[in-house]
Amino acid sequence: MGHLTPLQRVFLAVALVVIVAPFLWILMNSFKYQIAIYQGSWVFEPTLSNYTDVLFSRRSRFSDNLWNSVVVAVTSTTIVLVLGTLAAYSLNRFPWAPWVSRGLMAWLVVFHMVPVLTLVGPWYLIFRHFGLYDTLTGLVLTHVTLNLPMAIWLMLAFVREVPREMEEAAEIDGCSRIQTFGYVVLPVIVPGLIATGVLSFIFSWNEFAVALNLTSRATATVPVGVAKFAQEYEIQHAQMAAASILATIPAILIMFFGQKFVVRGLTLGSVK
């Protein structure tokens, strides 16, 4: 902050307000009664009834939504890390033809830019045919498909930073290719695994469009569960605010502990 000009400090303060203010507004509403929200009251009697209603009410299945999101996010992130790391290592270390590696990386970029809603229709038909519609397994597969391109690109940047001499030395000592990968490469790219895992988990946790169209009440995830508080004849603003706060806690905690690795992963290769 000491090296910032006054104008830069003003812009930083404005940006901070723009980012934090909506969250604080929702947090405040989560402790209000519904009538206080309608009245727009700044002074109100705080209550925990909204959180109790969201988590323990019989008419709410938000606790099930939380569990579904945990299963889908953890499972899909694990698969993405395994496949993304192996793919990145293969592309960087094995003698693929240039048109294969470059064509694959270009296709991953193009696929990542495709609007998700254009994929929902084909996925719906495929999953109905194979019995995967309205299942957590089907949702995991879609999240793996959506997050794998990003994982391969990020892990490729970290694999490139591993000196080949380290692997050659391990092979001279008698290590096989698998042992070299496990004992030499993996420990070095742990920051990349953390960065990629954090981003994959958050993207999976917050994914809404696919979950809305490929799940029902029993298999809905957190974003869908939050949206369900806006019904046709009633919008439960207080409960929706409480559910939104609960939904952000896991992502905030994970991002807090992994932020330095995420920053490194996003900036790796930009400065040599």
What pLDDT does 224 receive?
Answer: 94
Q: What is the pLDDT of residues 180-221, one digit of tens each?
A: 888 889 988 888 899 899 999 999 999 999 999 999 888 999
Average pLDDT over residues 79-86: 96
Structure tokens at 121: 């229709």
CA distance 107 to 102: 8
Domain count, the chain: 1
Domain hosting 90: range is 58-267
End-to-end CA distance of the chain: 25
Q: Is 77 domain-assigned?
A: yes
CA distance 32 to 197: 36
Q: Decide if 112 contacts 200 (C-beta within 8 A).
A: no
Whether the predicted pLDDT of 142 surpasses 60: yes
Whether the predicted pLDDT of 120 surpasses 90: yes
Q: Is 99 domain-assigned?
A: yes
Q: Is 238 domain-assigned?
A: yes
| pLDDT confidence tier of residue 76, bands split at 50, 70 and 90 | very high
Q: CATH number of the domain at 235, please.
A: 1.10.3720.10
Q: Is 244 domain-assigned?
A: yes
